[in-house]
Amino acid sequence: MYIALVGVSGYSGQALYQLLLNHPGVEGIDLYGHLRRDTEAEQTLDIAALNIHTKITAFDPATIMAKDDVIFFATPAGVTSQLAKPFIAADFPVIDLSGDYRLKDPASYTKWYHKPAAPAADLAKATYGLAEFENPTSHYIANPGCYATATILGTAPLLQSGVIDLDSIIVDAKSGLSGAGKKATDSSHFVHINENLQMYKLNEHQHIPEIVQELQKFNSDLKAIQFSTTLIPVDRGIMATIYAKATADLTTDQVQALYETQYQDKPFIHVSATEMPDLKRVVGTNNCDIGVSYNPATKTVVIVSVIDNLLKGAAGQAVQNFNKLFDYPETTALPTTTLGF
């Protein structure tokens, strides 16, 4: 297959490019810029760290659909919705790493992303691609957000089982610096982030409505969650610590059984009740490691869900969705071994 990739200059785009280079079903990768042909000349991309020295072609939907078999958008929010319409109209396969087609309600997107939303008819054609729970039902896959992936995978079995108070869910999520994107800001400057912890977008993070929207598929009575995000001084990784009050007495073994039953046939999900996972267990992999515990003194279920934000939270899950869409084995070209340090 021939792949079109838009947005290789960002962290997620670079990770995606590396994964696709090693995919046995990929015969070639064509790289395209964000802008249309009449405003953008061809460029040369030179990323020495990845040994990428190649041409970036100006974006042109007709050229892409004639030459390639599927397009990946690794573009910022607000960009993909400006580019994707011709592909949606042609029912051309799209895997979108941006947030532009995750939310089904245009008003919700505008509220949380502070950008114009894609048309509702186009949003309806997108499949939300949380790969452990969703099979593609259309040719447009909206790849989940990184925080959303860790949180939904960590919370879904509790909602399905009905063992928690739905009004008690609190998620304390922490992300490495690459999760904030490649663009330099005052808050991402080394002097500021090093040896520091910084909460950001408290009660305003754009993944909140995505998480609630998807969790409501497991229990429609859920109304909201308390969700906070903290930037931590590591390169990559997300840890979502989820707290919820039990509606009846439980044991840690019972909670573990819920998760093991749910994820028993999911190759990238690992569940443990004997130790809580840490970031180094998943960085460099497409895995989600989940630790479970129950405190009988407070009747509180504690779930720790960790992923690599650039892989399971972005590029890795995009390839996982590509595999499912085109009937490759789900684990094809996806790493399960950590970086080893």
Q: Which residues are catalytic?
A: 146
User: What type of residue sits at position 273?
Assistant: A
CB 243 within 8 A of CB 187: no
The answer to whether the beta carbons of residues 195 and 296 sit under 8 Å apart is no
Q: What is the CA radius of gyration of the chain?
A: 20
DSSP-based three-state secondary structure for 182: coil
Tokens for 154?
């960590």
Q: What is d(CA 3, CA 16) in angstroms, rounded to the nearest whole number?
A: 11
Closest Cα partner for 304 from 159, 133, 174? Answer: 174
What strands, in cross-sheet order, belong to the sheet with 198-200? 198-200, 226-231, 170-175, 238-245, 300-307, 288-295, 269-272
Yes or no: say if 243 and 260 are a contact pair by the CB < 8 Å rule.
Answer: no
Whole-angstrom Cα distance, residue 61 to residue 57? 12
d(CA 260, CA 250): 16
Pairing state between β 238-245 and 198-200:
unpaired
Where are the alpha helices (H) located in 137-251, listed in sequence order?
146-161, 190-193, 207-215
- Residue 85's nearest CA partner among 53, 133, 107, 117 is 117
**Which tokens go with 164?**
């928690």
